Amino acid sequence: MTDTKFPGWHGTTIIGVRKGSQVVIAGDGQVSLGPTVIKGTARKVRRLCPGGNDVVVGFAGSTADAFTLLERLEGKLEATPGQLQRACVELAKDWRTDKYLQKLEAMLIVTDGAELLIITGAGDVLEPEHGIAAIGSGGNFALAAARGLQETDYSAEEIARKAMAIASDICVYTNGNLTVEVISK
């Protein structure tokens, strides 16, 4: 069955990997409209610095919706400096209860180097098991690859890059043009 809902955006693979004191979020650069690649160099991983505290965010879903959520998250982080989980829970509450925000179609992976969280529009703030979070159409492929590489001597960045390469070989909505942000605590 084909989804006829316009614009029919597909894609993105975002992965977060924690290993040792390092956390990495990596995302591909492909934006697709149906079966057509619209852009191959999108930047879906961003570094926010509210109040001087570094936070890295990767997003999947509608770009405009994700930017709206990033702005809201930045506001929550400024209101609760150094409290990533609290800021994320406050965002998820707003997302779940605000009629405007409820229509937003995106997901976020967020880290401050100490915590690694997934935020969804269903009101979820999830801390993934095994220190690996993945979202988007190729997320399950990247997650499986990263889990398989986790016990190796590879760094968090090497695991993220290899997992993304595997996902981009499998998922047609994911490319190998990566944005990678590393943060340590």
Residues catalogued as catalytic: 12
SS3 48: strand
| Other Cβ atoms within 10 Å of 80 Cβ, number | 17
Burial class (CB in 10 A: 0-12, 13-18, 19+), 92: buried
Distance from C-alpha of 21 to C-alpha of 149, rounded to nearest angstrom: 17
Two tokens at 36?
């057509």
Q: Are 74 and 81 in contact (CB under 8 A)?
A: no
Taking Cα atoms as reference points, which of 14, 10, 68 lies closest to residue 39? 10
Q: Are 157 and 33 in contact (CB under 8 A)?
A: no
| Other Cβ atoms within 10 Å of 28 Cβ, number | 31
Residue 114 has what DSSP assignment? S
